[in-house]
Amino acid sequence: MAPGLLDKVLSLVFENSCLICSESSQNNLVCTNCKDELSKQSTSYVRNLKHITVYSYGFYGGKLRQSILNFKNNDKNLSVFFSGLLTQHWLKLNNHLPINNIMVIPVPSHLKRIKERGYCHTTLIAKGFAQNLSYNFSNSLIKRKRHTKHMNKLKNKLERYKNVEEAFDIIGNIHTNTNLVVIDDILTSGATMQEIAKTLLKHNPHIKITGLTIACGDKFT
């Protein structure tokens, strides 16, 4: 085999493989079967928390769960697909949601996890979402100020709320009348979204905050 040919063949195989199931995808990131299955999971969940309403694309299970795990564990290219999914979902919800002065922010990931992965998955989808809709984007507005445990290691709602209590800091100013859209991959107990919204409102009570996630899981009630 000529030098470099193997790389070319491998890159062709990779480019033609679905990032979720690895079957042929005809140069798309995700194959038609996976897209169909995911669109069947689009059930449009809405969760009203104390300080924030969170909209989710679908329930955390089946293909949606598998694709999020692929994205978080090894395939950063799926961010393009997920930001597209959230963009479509947001446009469908258009009547209920703000359209002006929007600033998109990701839920900050653990630094340790970012180092392990090599990328911050929530930043990638939030940035793609903001670019798709020409919204402002910031990944430095909110920071984790202390280490928190993995939420999936905590077995009940109370532990999860305590784990993130006072865990975030706002850096810089947020203009009054800003509509913040906070993006995360999965909403479970809602503790993180709730704490972020509480911290933002303490900083400026005149802003509006909406949550948007790919999936919504068990809420531990």
User: In the bound complex, what is the minimum distance in angstroms from residue 117's beta carbon to Zn ion?
Assistant: 22
Query: Contact between 18 and Zn ion (CB under 5 A)?
Result: yes
Rounded to an integer, what distance in angstroms lies between the CA atom of residue 8 and that of residue 18? 18
Query: Which residue in 16, 17, 21, 41 binds Zn ion (CB under 5 A)?
Result: 21
User: In the bound complex, what is the minimum distance in angstroms from residue 31's beta carbon to Zn ion?
Assistant: 3
Edge-to-edge strand list for the sheet holding 102-106? 42-48, 53-59, 208-216, 179-187, 102-106, 136-137
Measured CA distances, 143 to 106, 167, 170, 196 (Å): 10, 8, 6, 10
From 23-31, 82-90, 172-180, 196-204, span contacting Zn ion (CB under 5 A): 23-31
Query: Contact between 20 and Zn ion (CB under 5 A)?
Result: yes
Largest CA distance in the chain: 65
Q: 34 or 200, CB closer to Zn ion?
A: 34
Running DSSP on this structure, what letter comes out for residue 141? S
Q: Are strands 42-48 and 208-216 parallel, antiparallel or unpaired?
A: unpaired
User: In the bound complex, what is the minimum distance in angstroms from residue 143's beta carbon to Zn ion?
Assistant: 36
User: In the bound complex, what is the minimum distance in angstroms from residue 28's beta carbon to Zn ion?
Assistant: 9
Residues at the site binding Zn ion, with contacts judged by CB under 5 A: 18, 20-21, 31, 34
